[in-house]
Amino acid sequence: MDAGIRVVIAPSFGDIFFNNSFKNGFDLIGVDIVLPPERCAELRAALERTPGARLIVDLEAQTVTGPVGINDGGCSDHFDIDPFRKQLLLSGMDDISFTLNHKDSIAAFEARFAKELPWI
Amino acid sequence: MTKAQTLFDKIWARHTILERPDGATLLHVARHLVHDGSRASFGALKDKGLEVRHPERTFATPDHYVSTLGNELTAISEPYRREMVGALADNAREHGITLFGLGDRRQGIVHVIGPEQGITQPGLLMVCRGHERRSGGAPGSSSATAISAAARRASTPSGRWWTPASAW
């Protein structure tokens, strides 16, 4: 995040890393994209052959395209993402802003909690 | 007949505020323990213009970067780590959080001070940032067990958990 990396493409992710990527978004929100290992290797090789080549990630369409100039921009990979997380990312929300949108639920919960468990 | 619930299920349900469509659960955090690795989180709160929601339920102690050679800040030889410990004291003061700081005889390992100071109580959902996962094995108490159990559950795709902004 601090290095400005917004997207990571890999064959798999550790669950801590995967979940944290969605949470670190204070200004930037990260997305982890899972593609088949052989495809990841191809993309890596293509990028190494052509330093500075660009991949285009379309979150709305859930596609990774490119690298442009190697596949003539015509090659897209589809990736899966949880629909709710996708919606959060597209609306620029992170977990904190989502939570802040539920202040009333939280206040109601806290009032009930304090009443039921006053010793806490 | 309803399905039998484990102790963990009951504690989880008692603290559930809402469930998100992606399977994540917004949980009420009854006690929050903070250590000296927290500077970035306080910075993030500041950037967003947020306060600590419940400073009265939040307890801080430096333990990661303190020196074994002495109880003073100056005993920490590395400037970066010294600053992290100093920042915890500053942030605790600024946000009204109870601090067991350097020189305070209650200061200690963040896992240990919970039970030691009576902060850890049976049936509470407690969080300690960076320690909420599988390694959450603080000394025996129901709540420590719950955290540990939560950590195991959190590692499954269906049981992600997350905490409100008040409980970083």
CB A23 to CB B162 under 8 A?
yes
CATH number of the domain at B158, please: 3.30.499.10
At residue A20, the pLDDT reads 61
Count of domains for chain B: 1
Q: What is the mean pLDDT of residues A59-88?
A: 78
At residue B69, the pLDDT reads 92
DSSP B3: P
Q: How far apart are the first and last CA of chain B?
A: 38
Compute the distance between CA of residue B64 and CA of residue B42 in angstroms, rounded to an integer: 17
Residues from chain A contacting residue B28 (CB–CB below 8 Å): 106, 109-110, 113
CB A100 to CB B17 under 8 A?
no
pLDDT score of A77 more than 80: yes
Helix (H, G, I), strand (E, B) or coil at B127: strand
Distance from CA of A112 to the nearest CA of B (A): 11
Residues from chain A contacting residue B17 (CB–CB below 8 Å): 102, 105-106, 109
Q: What is the mean pLDDT of residues A17-25?
A: 60
Structure tokens belonging to residue B76: 């920490």
Indicate whether B153 belongs to any domain. Answer: yes
CA A116 to chain CA centroid, nearest Å: 38
Indicate whether B43 belongs to any domain. Answer: yes
At residue A98, the pLDDT reads 82
Indicate whether B105 belongs to any domain. Answer: yes
Indicate whether B1 belongs to any domain. Answer: no
Q: Taking a contact as any Cβ pair under 8 Å apart, which residues of chain B between 124 and 153 contact chain A?
A: 124, 133
Interchain contact B75–A (C-beta under 8 A): no
B6 vs A70, residue with greater confidence: B6
Residues from chain A contacting residue B162 (CB–CB below 8 Å): 23, 95
A112 vs A92, residue with greater confidence: A112
Query: Could you tell me if the ipTM is greater than 0.85?
Result: no
A to B CB pairs, distance under 8 Å: 43
Distance from CA of A49 to the nearest CA of B (A): 37
Count of other CB atoms within 10 angstroms of residue B72: 11
Indicate whether B137 belongs to any domain. Answer: yes
For chain B, 168 residues long, the average pLDDT of each consecutive 10-residue run is: 83 87 83 88 84 89 93 93 96 95 94 89 78 37 35 32 35
At residue B77, the pLDDT reads 94
Task: Give percent above pLDDT 70 in chain A.
Answer: 77
CB A26 to CB B47 under 8 A?
yes
At residue B83, the pLDDT reads 96
A97 vs A18, residue with greater confidence: A97
- Looking at mean pLDDT, say which of A51-60, A86-95, B51-60 comes out highest: B51-60
B58-60 and B126-128 beta bridge pairing:
unpaired
Domains and CATH numbers, chain A: 7-116 (3.20.19.10)
pLDDT digit string (tens) for A22-42? 655 434 456 788 888 888 888
Residue A19: pLDDT band (50, 70, 90) is low
Which residue segment(s) compose the domain that B161 sits in?
A: 7-167
A97 vs A1, residue with greater confidence: A97
Q: Taking a contact as any Cβ pair under 8 Å apart, which residues of chain B between 6 and 45 contact chain A?
A: 17-18, 20-24, 26, 28, 30, 44
Compute the distance between CA of residue B108 and CA of residue B60 in angstroms, rounded to an integer: 10
Indicate whether B16 belongs to any domain. Answer: yes
Indicate whether B2 belongs to any domain. Answer: no
